Chain A
Amino acid sequence: DAGVIQSPRHEVTEMGQEVTLRCKPISGHNSLFWYRQTMMRGLELLIYFNNNVPIDDSGMPEDRFSAKMPNASFSTLKIQPSEPRDSAVYFCASSETTDTQYFGPGTRLTVL
C-alpha cells in the first residue's frame, strides 16, 4: 500500500488567499484525522471523520477552516482566507478503527 498520501507537500501563499490541502487515506481505513503541528503548540487535532462523517471538529481554530470528506478515499482541508499564523505543517492520518493511526508525510504551509 502507498500509505497516506498528501498534496501538495509544500505550499507558499500570500495572506488572504484560499488554501486547499488534500489527503488520500489508506484504502480500507474508515477514520481520517487532520492535525496541525507548530513549534509553539505541538501537534493539535483539528478534526476527524469516521465513515466520511465529521465526528469531532472542536479543534478547528475558527470559521476560516473547513474540512470535507466526500468519499472514503479523499478529504480536503481548506483555509479561507489564510493568515500568517496559519503557517504550520498539516498532517493527515487514517486508521482502520480509531486505534492505530498512520500518518502522511505532511504539507508544509507558509503564509506570507
Chain B
Amino acid sequence: AQSVTQLDSHVSVSEGTPVLLRCNYSSSYSPSLFWYVQHPNKGLQLLLKYTSAATLVKGINGFEAEFKKSETSFHLTKPSAHMSDAAEYFCALNYGQNFVFGPGTRLSVLP
C-alpha cells in the first residue's frame, strides 16, 4: 500500500524566515512525488514534482524539495517566507494509476 504523511497540520512562520513543510511517504515502488498549493477558495496548483531525476527539485515561487529515499521523505522548503505563501500545502505521490494525497499542512505567515 502507498501512503503520504504530512507531519504538521499547521505551521506558522514569520515573514522573511525559512519555511519547512514535512512529507513522508510509503511506497513499495519508486513513486513520483508532488507538492501542490491551495490558496483560499482556489483549486490546487502544482508547485513542483520529482520523477526520479535530480533529487533536489526546484519549483515555482522559490520553493524547492529534496527527495531522500533513505528517509522516505520529500520535504518542502523556502529560504524566506512571503505573506503570499500563506496557504494549504499538499504532498502527493503517484505510481502508475495510483494517486494519493496527504492531509495537507496549513502555512501561516506572520508579519
Q: Chain A residues near B96 (CB, 8 Å)?
A: 98
B97 adjacent to A100 (CB under 8 Å): no
Question: On chain A, which size bracket covers the interface?
Answer: 20 to 34
Q: Chain B residues near A102 (CB, 8 Å)?
A: 46
Q: Chain B residues near A108 (CB, 8 Å)?
A: 41
Taken together as a complex, chains A and B put the C-alpha atoms of A101 and B45 apart, in Å, by: 9
List CB contacts (< 8 Å) of B67-102 with chain A. 90, 94, 96-97, 99, 101
B46 adjacent to A100 (CB under 8 Å): yes
Task: Digitize A44-74: 1 where CB-to-B-CB distance is under 8 Å, 0 elsewhere.
Answer: 0100101000011000000000000000000
List CB contacts (< 8 Å) of B13-49 with chain A. 32, 34, 36, 41-46, 49
User: Which of A91, A101, A105 sits near B99, CB closer than 8 Å?
Assistant: A101
Residue of B nearest to A56 (CB): B97
Taken together as a complex, chains A and B put the C-alpha atoms of A98 and B32 apart, in Å, by: 10
Residue of B nearest to A98 (CB): B97
Question: On chain B, which size bracket covers the interface?
Answer: 10 to 19
Q: Chain B residues near A1 (CB, 8 Å)?
A: none
Taken together as a complex, chains A and B put the C-alpha atoms of A103 and B99 apart, in Å, by: 14
A104 contacts the other chain (CB 8 A) = yes
With A43-B90, A99-B32, A99-B51 in contact, is A104–B97 under 8 Å at CB? Answer: no
A42 adjacent to B104 (CB under 8 Å): yes
B43 adjacent to A91 (CB under 8 Å): yes
The minimal Cβ–Cβ distance linking A84 to chain B, given in whole angstroms, is 21
Taken together as a complex, chains A and B put the C-alpha atoms of A98 and B99 apart, in Å, by: 8
A103 adjacent to B45 (CB under 8 Å): yes
The minimal Cβ–Cβ distance linking B63 to chain A, given in whole angstroms, is 16
B99 adjacent to A43 (CB under 8 Å): no
A105 adjacent to B97 (CB under 8 Å): no
8 CB < 8 A contacts A-B: A42-B103, A55-B97, A98-B94, A100-B34, A102-B46, A103-B36, A103-B45, A106-B42
Interchain residue pairs A-B with the least CB separation, the first 5 = A103-B43, A103-B44, A105-B43, A43-B101, A42-B103
